[in-house]
């Protein structure tokens, strides 16, 4: 690219750099702001999803207890134990995602269902025992050597508390996958936005560059330089229209000036021809002729006057007065004539 084209691209590049920088900064800001928001959204999603799973388990308990109550067997311990065992066996097959664990604990801390503990064994963990006293909720804490996210709910009819937990690592892995997808979408958006900006900037700067080229051509006298067609009614269109009018006015003024110069040249040629003709007449008339100034100094004499006076032009012109060629006794009379003539 030569220097001229490089200068043309300066405005285009500057606008592109500024616009793309703003776009990238906005993208970075959205990414930083979205990181925390997406983390919260991911935890909220798992909390709501786990709440539905726990609600389903509690609903299964409520259905089984309803059957006992309708058959008036809810006070018969053997039937209640049998139904509870069936419910625990059914829930024992429950699987939630990759690291999900379902745990059922009685209000007194005895385990009803646990992957590692046998039924009736006392739960180990102060945090779990503390949650048993609450009705429902969600919490994240270290349990059995790993950080887990819990959601729990109490079924008061049996004094059972249903815990569903998942490792925080799995939640964060899901967040990372979501962030990767969002990042890809954001990158594509920035790329597409950058392309749109470059196209729009090119549409904006092309008329300006064309005007700059036209101005350079007009300055060199190329009045017929084509100008960009005004598009729309924005400032660039107004500038293009104004420049077009200015170029037309300059072309007319230059044409008038050329015509005047031609007239002046014709007049000067005619004057030179006339001067040559009258000088020839002045020199070759055969009579002594001179031109004098107001102070009677001879400014121009012809060859005839040289012959009559006996002096050369160099001796006469600008040095002698016509009074020098008049007899002294006629000086006063000739001076009077001279003053009266002027």
SS (H, E, C) the chain: CCHHHHHHHHHHHHHHHHHHHHHHHHHHHHHHHHHHHHHHHHHHHHHHHHHHHHHHHHHHHHHHHHHHHHCCCCCCHHHHHHHHHHHHHHHHCCCCCCCCEEEEEECCCEEEECCCCCCCCECCCHHHHHHHCCCEEEEEEEECCEEEEEEEEEECCCCEEEEEEEEHHHHHHHHHHHHHHHHHHHHHHHHHHHHHHHHHHHHHHHHHHHHHHHHHHHHCCCCCCCCCCCCCCCHHHHHHHHHHHHHHHHHHHHHHHHHHHHHHHHHHHHHHHHHHHHHHHHHHCCCCCEEECCCCEEEEECHHHHHHHCCCHHHHCCCCEHHHHCCHHHHHHHHHHHHHHC
Residue 63: predicted pLDDT? 94
Comparing CA positions, the residue from 301, 304, 299 lying closest to residue 285 is 304
Residue 111: predicted pLDDT? 86
Q: Which distant-in-sequence residues (6+ apart) come within 8 Å of 6 by Cβ?
A: none
Residue 137: predicted pLDDT? 92
Give strand pairing partners of 290.
Answer: 301
The burial class, CB within 10 Å (0-12 / 13-18 / 19+), for 284 is exposed
Cβ 254 vs Cβ 221: under 8 Å:
yes
Residue 167: predicted pLDDT? 94
Q: Which distant-in-sequence residues (6+ apart) come within 8 Å of 3 by Cβ?
A: none
Residue 232: predicted pLDDT? 65
Counting Cα atoms < 13 Å in the Cβ hemisphere of 226 gives 2
pLDDT in tens, the chain (342 residues): 444 455 445 666 777 777 777 777 777 777 777 777 888 889 999 999 999 999 999 999 999 999 999 999 988 989 999 999 999 888 877 788 889 999 998 888 888 887 766 676 777 667 777 777 788 899 998 888 899 999 999 999 998 999 999 999 999 999 888 888 888 888 888 788 878 878 877 777 777 777 777 777 777 777 677 766 666 666 667 777 777 777 777 777 877 888 888 888 888 888 888 888 777 777 777 788 888 888 889 888 888 888 888 888 888 888 898 888 888 888 888 888 888 776
Residue 2: predicted pLDDT? 47
Q: Which distant-in-sequence residues (6+ apart) come within 8 Å of 216 by Cβ?
A: none
């Amino acid at each position: 690219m030569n220097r001229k084209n490089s200068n043309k691209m300066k405005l285009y590049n500057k606008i592109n750099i500024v616009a793309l920088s703003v776009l990238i900064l906005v993208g970075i800001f959205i990414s930083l702001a979205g990181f925390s928001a997406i983390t919260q959204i991911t935890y909220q999603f798992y909390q709501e999803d786990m709440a539905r799973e726990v609600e389903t388990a509690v609903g299964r308990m409520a259905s089984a207890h309803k059957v006992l109550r309708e058959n008036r067997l809810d006070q018969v311990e053997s039937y209640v134990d049998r139904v509870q065992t069936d419910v625990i066996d059914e829930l024992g097959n429950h699987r939630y995602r990759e690291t999900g664990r379902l745990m059922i604990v009685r209000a007194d801390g005895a385990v009803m269902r646990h992957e590692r503990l046998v039924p009736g064994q006392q739960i180990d963990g102060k945090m779990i025992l503390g949650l048993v006293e609450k009705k429902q909720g969600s919490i994240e804490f270290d349990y059995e050597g790993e950080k887990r996210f819990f959601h729990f709910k109490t079924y008061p009819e049996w004094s059972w508390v249903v815990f569903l937990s998942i490792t925080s690592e799995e939640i964060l892995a899901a967040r990372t996958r979501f962030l990767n997808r969002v990042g890809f979408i954001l990158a594509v958006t920035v790329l597409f936005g950058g392309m749109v900006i470059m196209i729009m900037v090119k549409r904006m700067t092309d008329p300006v560059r064309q005007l700059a080229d036209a101005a350079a051509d007009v300055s060199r006298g190329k009045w017929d330089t084509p100008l960009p067609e005004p598009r729309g009614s924005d400032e660039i269109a107004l500038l293009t229209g104004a420049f077009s009018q200015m170029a037309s006015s300059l072309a007319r003024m230059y044409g008038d000036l050329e015509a005047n110069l031609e007239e002046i040249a014709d007049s000067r040629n005619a004057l030179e021809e006339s001067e040559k003709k009258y000088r020839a007449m002045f020199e070759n008339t055969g009579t002594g002729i001179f031109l004098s100034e107001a102070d009677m100094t001879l400014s121009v004499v012809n060859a005839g006057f040289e012959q009559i006076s006996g002096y050369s032009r160099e001796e006469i012109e600008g040095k002698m007065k016509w009074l020098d060629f008049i007899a002294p006794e006629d000086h006063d009379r000739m001076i009077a004539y001279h003053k009266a003539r002027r």
